[in-house]
Amino acid sequence: MITDKKHIQQLASLLLQKGITDVVISPGSRNAPLINQFSGLKEFNCINVVDERSAGYLALGVALARKKPVVVVCTSGTAAVNYGPAVAEAFYQKIPLVVLTADRPQRWIDQADGQTVRQENLFVNHTLKSISLQEAERDDDFRYNNLQINETLNLVGSASPGPVHINIPMGEPLYGFSDDRLPVFRNIESAPVHFQLASGELKKLAERWNSSGQKMIIVGQMPEDEKINALVQRLAQDSGTAILAEHITNLSGEQLIRATDIAVAAIPSAENRDFQPEILLTFGQQIVSKRLKLFIRANQPREHWHISASGEHTDTYNSLTRVISSDVFSFLGAFVPEIKNSESKFREMWKSLEQKAFQLQDKFLKDAPFCDLTASKIIAELVPENSVVHLGNSSSVRLIQMFAARQGCEYPGNRGTSGIDGSLSTAGGFAMFSGKINTLVVGELSFFYDSNALWNLNFPKNLRIIVLNNGGGNIFRLIGGPRQSPALEEHFVARHNLKAEGLAAAYGISYLKAENQQQLTEALNTIYTPGFSGPVILEVWSDGETSAAVFQECYNQFKTATL
């Protein structure tokens, strides 16, 4: 049985015709027609998540794992508002979400009726398109709904994907059913577009590139893509090209500089100009390393080309000179065959910086006390090869990226907005559709903040949650401004004595703890033993002040120590 509301039937029909079948549902009454519609059709894969904020992030993780759009469905009022953080994250990561919010009829908005807020255009600043369906079933309204739904759903999975919002006013009764088969409604198809530069323009760029011995490519966050990775490997063969690609780029190759932050920290101050690129090429989304941003801003390239399918003028380094309106694969596919190897040591100079930093770091940490950094080194080295490692924000992502990436590992993380609020939910959604071991490395404030993610009957057994508990938000001990503030401990760090063990017990999840290097090594070997059945929470306890001091001293080594 399906709902008898025709505008909901049309929406479901078009979702199916466009291959969008994963639906994350949060309970409610106003969204009852949507719930009955999706759960009443075997073609839809429905996942129930009570907390809408968690549901939004979980859907984001599912979309990353499935590499296709995912629907989220909620009732009216503040339930819809709770999708905001996940929608913003999806927007800046370019992840396809279809956000469906049930609503009261327009005549009841601002009339003191229950669960009503102004939902039209609620996410307008962070969506590709926001529409509100017509509830009336006149032919003109029905035709207009069809056009609007088609246009909106075609955008979500376009060459420059992202979230869309469909607000759906529904009057009572809400629980009417139909025994009829789901009708098939007009599906307006949208052909995929691949943007390509004119051959003459492409050759001009290639000539400028080939004439320089100091080229740099900085890659921002990207999902794993074997075709793009293969093209990047070919670019990396040029000895005059240094490719800086953090773990979250999900690129690989011996010639790439992956630990970009410590590599930049190892540049001798007097030699900054030696590492300055003449031409900078960028693509992907955000990067983590603030040091790299500041270095390029202070040592600007003569030319900066940015690849963007939507033509965005992203000027992270204050040096943008050209926007290449193309998807990354199409541009690189045409550009790479034109590239010639240059006689230059630029790539090797950058690669040597990374190796120097690794050696200094290893030497320093041999005698360092147990802390977040030494724990992160052990974790980074013991996570299984060819697994998925989700990186929490603030300290976690920075610590793990100080060490070499594991062979074949994928490194997702909510770096679109870099908030701490949804890392656990996103990892849970991803792990549901991943056949690999998934590990989340996350700080305890982020873990507690998103602990409703554990409130999921389908919580994935392949997820290992590693909580770095240093008694507060230790990122504020690592950066300069807050360290000088009298409010540091109470209002920045938010010092506490909370532990994750009680939450693990409440949700029936296995729990381990580690307070030193030996315990951590043993615990990691346990949770990564073949046949181990998760999920599991491994809580790593450390002292926040010690962790901050070791981190700062480690970075000092890059400038002052000798091998």
Task: Determine the average pLDDT of the residues in 511-536.
Answer: 96
Same domain, 44 and 161: yes
Inform me whether the pLDDT recorded for 47 exceeds 60.
Answer: yes
Which of 289, 323, 350 is a domain's end point?
Answer: 350
- What are the start-end ranges of the E strands in 41-121? 45-48, 70-74, 97-103
Q: For residue 462, what pLDDT is reported?
A: 96
Query: By C-alpha distance, which of 61, 66, 87 is closest to 428?
Result: 61
Task: Determine the average pLDDT of the residues in 322-330.
Answer: 94
Name beta bridge partners: 529.
none
- Residue 144 forms part of a structural domain: yes
Q: For residue 194, what pLDDT is reported?
A: 67
Inform me whether the pLDDT recorded for 135 exceeds 90.
Answer: no
Task: Determine the average pLDDT of the residues in 433-462.
Answer: 93
The model carries a pTM of 0.94
Inform me whether the pLDDT recorded for 367 exceeds 90.
Answer: yes
pLDDT in tens, 383-424: 999 999 999 998 999 999 999 999 999 999 999 999 999 999
Q: For residue 523, what pLDDT is reported?
A: 98
- Residue 181 forms part of a structural domain: no
Q: What CATH number is associated with residue 546?
A: 3.40.50.970
Same domain, 414 and 553: yes
Burial 159-188 (b: 16+ CB within 10 A, else e): eebbbbbbbbbbeeebeeebeeebeebeee
Amino acid found at 418: S
Inform me whether the pLDDT recorded for 480 exceeds 70.
Answer: no
Indicate the average pLDDT of the chain. 92
- Residue 453 forms part of a structural domain: yes
Same domain, 153 and 299: no
DSSP state of 493: I
The two structure tokens encoding residue 383: 């996570």
Q: Which of 210-224, 345-359, 464-478 has the lowest mean pLDDT?
A: 464-478
- Residue 393 forms part of a structural domain: yes
Q: For residue 538, what pLDDT is reported?
A: 98
Same domain, 428 and 529: yes
pLDDT in tens, 223-248: 999 999 999 999 999 999 999 999 99
pLDDT class for 112, splitting at 50, 70, 90?
A: confident
How far is it, in rounded angstroms, from Cα 455 to Cα 306? 42
Give the pairing type, strands 97-103 and 177-178: unpaired
Task: Please report the DSSP string for 276-332 in residue order.
Answer: --SEEEEESS----HHHHHHHHHS--SEEEEE-TT-----TTS---EEE-S-HHHHH
Same domain, 377 and 405: yes
Same domain, 344 and 389: no
How far is it, in rounded angstroms, from Cα 352 to Cα 425? 38
- Containing structural domain, residue 82: 2-171
Same domain, 262 and 141: no
Q: Which of 6-10, 123-127, 556-560 has the lowest mean pLDDT?
A: 556-560
Same domain, 428 and 389: yes
Inform me whether the pLDDT recorded for 491 exceeds 70.
Answer: no
Inform me whether the pLDDT recorded for 93 exceeds 60.
Answer: yes
- Residue 235 forms part of a structural domain: yes
Burial 429-451 (b: 16+ CB within 10 A, else e): bbbbbbebbbbbbbbbbbbbbbb
pLDDT in tens, 3-41: 888 899 999 999 999 999 999 999 999 999 999 999 999
- Residue 238 forms part of a structural domain: yes
Give the full edge-to-edge strand order of the sheet including 241-245.
Answer: 241-245, 215-219, 279-283, 303-307, 322-324
Q: For residue 362, what pLDDT is reported?
A: 96
Q: For residue 562, what pLDDT is reported?
A: 59
Rounded alpha-carbon distances, angstroms, from residue 219 to 225, 241, 260: 13, 13, 11
Task: Determine the average pLDDT of the residues in 289-298.
Answer: 96
pLDDT class for 182, splitting at 50, 70, 90?
A: very high
Inform me whether the pLDDT recorded for 521 exceeds 70.
Answer: yes
Task: Determine the average pLDDT of the residues in 533-559.
Answer: 92
Which of 319, 350, 381 is a domain's end point?
Answer: 350
Same domain, 25 and 124: yes
pLDDT class for 474, splitting at 50, 70, 90?
A: low
Same domain, 382 and 333: no
> What is the number of domains present in the chain?
3
Q: For residue 481, what pLDDT is reported?
A: 67
Task: Determine the average pLDDT of the residues in 177-196.
Answer: 84
Same domain, 346 and 378: no
90: Cβ–Cβ under 8 A, 6 or more apart, which residues?
A: 60, 63, 96, 97, 126, 162, 163, 416
The two structure tokens encoding residue 416: 């679109």
Same domain, 24 and 158: yes
